[in-house]
Amino acid sequence: MVDASVAARIGALREALEAHNHAYYVLDAPTVSDAEYDSLFKELQALELEYPEHASPDSPTQRVGGRAAEGFGQIVHALPMLSLQNAFTDEEVVGFDRRVREALDASATEQDALRYCCELKFDGLAVNLRYEAGRFVRGATRGDGSTGEDVTANLRTIRAIPLHLRGAENPAARASAHASSHGQPASVPSVLEVRGEVLMFRDDFERLNREQQARGEKLFVNPRNAAAGALRQLDPGLTAQRRLRFMAYGLGEVRFEKGGRVPDSHLEMLQWLSDLGFPVGTMRERQEGPAGLLDFYRRVGAQRESLPFDIDGVVYKVDQRAWHERIGYVARAPRFAIAHKFPAEEVSTELLDIDVQVGRTGTLTPVARLRPVFVGGVTVTNATLHNQDELERKDLHIGDTVIVRRAGDVIPEVVRALPERRPAAARRFVMPLACPKCGSAVVREPGEAAARCVGGLFCQAQRSQALIHFAQRRAMDIEGLGDKLVEQLVLSDQVRSPADLYSLRLDQLTALERMGEKSARNLLTAIERSRQCRLERFIFALGIRHVGEEVARVLARHFGSLQALLQTEWSALAIAKSEIQKRNTRARARGEPLLAVPLEGVGLEIMQSLQAFLAEAHNREVIDRLLVCGVQPVSSSGAGAPQVSQTGSGIEPTGGGQVLAGKTLVVTGTLSGMGRNEVEDWIRQHGGTASGSVSRRTDFVVAGDNAGSKLERARALGVPVIDLATLLSMGHSS
């Protein structure tokens, strides 16, 4: 066979095999028998072995597994892989629809036009597939949402994942173009990231467990665990044996070079992905309003058991993709989408005992110790009982037979007792009057459900958690002071409060388990660096109840110095604020000017918590000791506030002003030399507001490399777009 004919035959075999893969794994419509497929596959293997100059990493023969990896590298996602918020009741779905409508313009046109795309929530492992010039180049797990594991070699073994996009410049894609439901190959971006779920069909799972049992090996718990374990095999050859599938449902980064765009509708975008060669759930449709969403949910629920794969709910997404940025995000989840979960699995077991855990702020939480029971895909032995009121409401006795519920990754919950099966020896639980960790008194404030230890930082349980909180990156940022090291320092009684950190010596640290001299020196350097800190970080680091990062920023901006915060009469301030709010309510009704409300966003409960914390003599003693040790909290507003200089390690205080006061900025893309969180801190430090979504009220968008939909929306709305250097120059010019 001459070289030209060899190349032609190899090309024809690859085209045919990819077309058969697409028909079987994507269209669920096999075009040849297994024997015919195997014959073509073996012929291609033989030709590639005989003529290695024609070998290609994109050949169908390479799906069966390549070289075993030594370990998984990390891949930083170009755009974060977000999680979805969950709904479990009809009321929560109604609330989701209401919040979406509130985020849109009040015009009747938009309200009437609002539609949702409804689809299945596959119970698998989320991955991101990256294609460049139509070719699959990289794949990663979700990981923490920002960084995932590089499982490219394993993903290549999944025949449902196209190695080339249909319509791209490659023979196999052109050969299978006839399978497009629209009759023409879809337009292909120069860069396309597809998000979806790796899963295992039930028949394949049962076959796998039969094989495991025959070999005398451990059986898998459920298809999801089997799929996750298979995808994370270090040897791709083992992954190839597990018959994994893939379902696409979303996008990451997308770029076009020669025109083209993603469809405006999410439903049409799913069809576009199908046209490009990806398997997409067939149970998808457009609905409007809560009634339509709930109808889809119930119809899918009725068919759930007949599906060839596991699902744990359905997903609702605003169909108009252009509205997604306007609706925005909360934490690490979009506001424009929600997962409506099916009812959790429930089983019965015995409540053997109730222990008490002590949290960072002294909260005592009763924890159920259960006879081990398999529920929701895992073996459950413990479940939180929240507080004494919850115990009494559910009428739980030690020794009861109880109903336990778990759904997905939700913490196991004791739903109720079965009093008809209560043994004579069953007994009630009573919250202890003394802390089980330190023996200090336990009190329960009027109007509160939680009982608390008053031992403060003297309580060993609170001390460890308080130190971990104090040292975290968003607080004092003491790199290297992790959980295990804190436990050693606390148990050895070398650190009783955060102030003791600043008197640690090198010999103390090197004497600890797994602490070498280099690590010890690095930790001492980090502790020394933390003496210079911003006021909002210091306030947050104290671990005051209800005082999170945003409240700490509000307090720092309002008071301007730690001394002013410490000298505040909180009761008087709360009364004054309440009176201004009442006055503004009357003024609003009369159309009169409103007075500025002090500490906007800091409610009465937070003020009471601040008052209680700062009135405690021991807490004031700790703060005083920190100041004596050289910790210098500096305000980020007003005279003497820190500016920011760009350094190799991030941002550091050096002097500055409030040039961004009253401005709202959005940060997007990859910024050279600074992380997104650092840039947002810089914006807040200079008086601005860092927002997560672009709207008409946005003053600037700070765009780095690979900026996506936020940049597009900014341009559409005419919002000024600046780079990092321009932003930093604003601070220097102040």
End-to-end Cα, the chain, rounded Å: 76
The sign of the CA dihedral 7, 8, 12, 15 is positive
Highest mean pLDDT among 156-160, 246-250, 598-602, 645-649: 246-250
d(CA 162, CA 171): 13
Residue 28 pLDDT level (bands cut at 50, 70, 90): low
pLDDT over 60 at 436, yes or no: yes
Q: Is the Cβ–Cβ distance between 703 and 676 less than 8 Å? A: no
- Confidence tier at 53 by pLDDT (50, 70, 90): confident
**Which alpha helices (DSSP H) does 591-633 contain, by range?**
604-615, 617-628
| pLDDT for the residue 549 | 87
Q: How far apart are CA 402 and CA 400, in angstroms?
A: 6
Most confident of 15-24, 86-95, 370-379: 86-95
Q: What is the pLDDT of residues 548-588, one digit of tens each?
A: 888 898 899 888 899 999 999 888 888 888 888 888 888 88
Per-residue pLDDT at 170: 52
Q: Which of 531, 522, 473, 520 has its CA nearest to residue 498?
A: 531
Give me 447's structure tokens.
């109007």
Which residue has better confidence, 141 or 232?
A: 141
Task: Pick the range with the lowest mean pLDDT from 228-232, 319-323, 624-628.
Answer: 228-232
- Residue 68, pLDDT score: 43
The answer to whether the CB of 46 falls within 8 A of the CB of 61 is no
pLDDT at 643: 35
Which residue's entry shows tokens 């009169």?
592
Q: Does the structure show a pLDDT above 70 at 407? A: no
Q: Where are the beta strands (DSSP E) in 214-265?
A: 245-255
| Of 205 and 375, more confident | 205
Report in angstroms the alpha-carbon separations of 622 from 288, 518, 613.
56, 29, 11
pLDDT at residue 516 in the model: 92
**What average pLDDT does this structure show over 699-719?**
87
Q: What are phi and psi of 629, to 5 degrees?
A: -75, 0
Q: Is the pLDDT of residue 620 over 90?
A: no
Contacts of 105 (CB under 8 A, 6+ apart): none
- Which one has a higher pLDDT value, 298 or 643? 298
pLDDT higher at 131 or 460 = 131
- Helix (H) or strand (E) holding 372, with range, is strand 363-375
Q: Check residue 27 and give its pLDDT.
A: 61
Give me the residue label for tokens 């980020």.
636
pLDDT recorded at residue 179: 37
Alpha carbon distance 473, 478 (integer Å):
7
Domains and CATH numbers, the chain: 3-64 (1.10.287.610), 76-341 (3.30.470.30), 345-422 (2.40.50.140), 455-530 (1.10.150.20), 537-634 (1.10.150.20), 644-733 (3.40.50.10190)
DSSP-assigned letters across all residues of 705-722: BT--HHHHHHHHHT--EE
Among 16-25, 324-333, 668-677, 700-709, the least confident range:
16-25
What is the total residue count of the chain?
734
The pLDDT score that the predictor gives to residue 11 is: 80
Q: What percent of the chain has pLDDT over 90?
A: 43
19-33, 355-369, 638-652, 676-690: least confident range? 638-652
Q: 226-240, 526-540, 655-669: which range is least confident on average?
A: 655-669
Please give the average per-residue pLDDT across 590-607, as a whole number.
83
Judging by beta carbons within 10 Å of its beta carbon (0-12, 13-18, 19+), is residue 4 exposed, middle or buried?
A: exposed
| Cβ-proximal residues to 49 (8 Å cutoff; 6+ apart), any chain | none
State the pLDDT confidence band at 653, using cuts at 50, 70 and 90: very low
Using CA atoms, how far apart are residues 36 and 159, in angstroms rounded to an integer? 17
Partners of residue 353 on adjacent β-strands: 369
Q: Is 185 helix (H, G, I), strand (E, B) or coil?
A: coil
Q: Is the pLDDT of residue 259 over 90?
A: no
Q: What is the SS3 string spanning 642-665? A: CCEEEECCEEEECCCCCCCCCCEE
φ/ψ of residue 127, rounded to 5 = -135, 165
Give me the residue label for tokens 């005398």: 216
pLDDT tier, 649 (very low <50, low <70, confident <90, very high otherwise): very low
Contact 202, 308 (CB under 8 A): yes
**Per-chain mean pLDDT for the chain:** 84
Q: What is the pLDDT of residues 171-211, one digit of tens each?
A: 443 433 333 334 344 478 999 999 999 999 999 999 999 99
From 121, 437, 577, 710, active-site residue: 121
Banded pLDDT at 34 (limits 50, 70, 90): low
Mean pLDDT calculated for residue range 80-106: 90
Say how far residue 371 (Cα) sits from the centre of its chain: 32
Asked if 121 is an active-site residue, the reply is yes
pLDDT at 419: 93
Helix (H, G, I), strand (E, B) or coil at 706: coil
Alpha carbons within 13 angstroms on the beta-carbon side of residue 260 total: 16
Mean pLDDT of all residues in 86-111? 88
